[in-house]
Amino acid sequence: MTSLRVGQQLFERLAELTGDGVGITRASYGSGESLALDAVETVARELGLATDRDHGANLVVTLHGSEPELPYIACGSHLDSVPQGGNFDGAAGVIAGLLVLGRLRAEGFVPRRPIKLFGLRGEESARFGKAYIGSRALFGELTGVDLSAKSSDTHRSLGDCMRDVGAEVERIERGERLLDAGRVFVWLELHIEQGPVLIARGQSIGIVTGIRGNIRHRAIECIGEAGHSGAIPRWLRHDAVFATAELMTRIDHHWRTLLECGKDLVVTSGLFGTVPEEHAIARIPGHVRFSFEARSQSHDTLEEFYNLFRSECASICEERGVAFNFDRRIDSGPAIMDREWIERLKNATKSLGIPAEEMPSGAGHDAAVFATAGVPSAMIFVRNHNGSHNPEEDMDLADFLEGVAVLREAITEAAR
Q: Which residues bind ligand GLV (CB under 6 A)?
A: 124-125, 131, 363-364
Strands annotated E in 111-150: 115-120
Tell me the sheet residues that pair with 200: none
What sign has the CA pseudo-torsion 101, 103, 108, 111? negative
Residue 376 contacts which entry, Mn ion, ligand GLV, none (Cβ below 5-8 A, type-dependent): none
| Strand partners of residue 287 | 223
Residue 415 contacts which entry, Mn ion, ligand GLV, none (Cβ below 5-8 A, type-dependent):
none
Rg (CA), the chain: 23
SS3 of the chain: helix, strand, coil, percent, to 5:
40, 25, 35
276 vs 294: CA distance, rounded Å: 26
With respect to ligand GLV, which residue has the nearer C-beta, 393 or 399?
393
Q: Least distance from C-beta 89 to Mn ion, angstroms?
A: 4
State the binding string over 75-94 for Mn ion (x if CB under 5 A, else -).
Answer: --------------xx----
Least gap, CB of 61 to Mn ion (angstroms): 19
CB of 123 to Mn ion, least distance (A): 6
State which residue, 100 or 131, has the beta carbon closest to ligand GLV: 131
Nearer to ligand GLV, 131 or 138 (CB): 131
Query: Is the Cβ of residue 227 or residue 387 nearer to ligand GLV in the bound state?
Result: 387
Distance CA 337, CA 63 (A): 25
Minimum CB distance to ligand GLV, residue 335 (Å): 12
Least Å from the CB of residue 131 to ligand GLV: 6
- Interatomic CA distance for residues 190 and 194, integer angstroms: 12
Residue 15: strand, helix, or coil: helix
Considering the complex, state which of residue 194 and residue 244 has its C-beta at the smaller distance from ligand GLV: 194
Asked if residue 96 lies in contact with residue 405, where contact means CB atoms within 8 angstroms, the answer is no
Q: Which is nearer to Mn ion, 321 or 362 (CB)?
A: 362
How far apart CA 140 and CA 135 sit, in angstroms, is 9
Q: How far is the CB of 364 from ligand GLV (least distance, A)?
A: 3
Q: How far apart are CA 404 and CA 24, in angstroms?
A: 23
Pick 192 or 316: Cβ nearer ligand GLV: 192
In whole angstroms, the minimum distance from the beta carbon of 414 to ligand GLV comes to 27
Nearest distance from C-beta of residue 278 to Mn ion, angstroms: 32
Bridge partners of residue 388, in order along the sequence: none
The site partner of 189 among Mn ion, ligand GLV, none (C-beta below 5 to 8 Å per kind) is none
Quick check: 58 and 118 in contact, CB under 8 A? yes
| Residue nearer to ligand GLV on the CB measure, 194 or 349 | 194
Contact 391, 85 (CB under 8 A): yes
Sequence-distant (6+) residues with CB within 8 A of 102 are 3, 6, 43, 44, 47, 48, 49
Closest to ligand GLV by CB, 7 or 90:
90
**What binding mask, one character per residue, do residues 264-293 give for Mn ion by CB under 5 A, x or -?**
------------------------------
Query: From the list ligand GLV, Mn ion, none, which binds 364 (C-beta under 5 to 8 Å, kind-based)?
Result: ligand GLV
| 89 vs 239 by CB, closer to Mn ion | 89
Whether the CB-CB separation of 105 and 47 falls below 8 Å is answered with yes
Element (H, E) at 350: helix 339-352
Under 8 Å CB-to-CB from 75, ≥6 apart: which residues? 93, 96, 97, 100, 115, 116, 117, 118, 187, 188, 189, 190, 407, 411
- Give the residue nearest to ligand GLV (CB): 364
User: By the criterion CB under 5 A, which residues form the site for Mn ion?
Assistant: 89-90
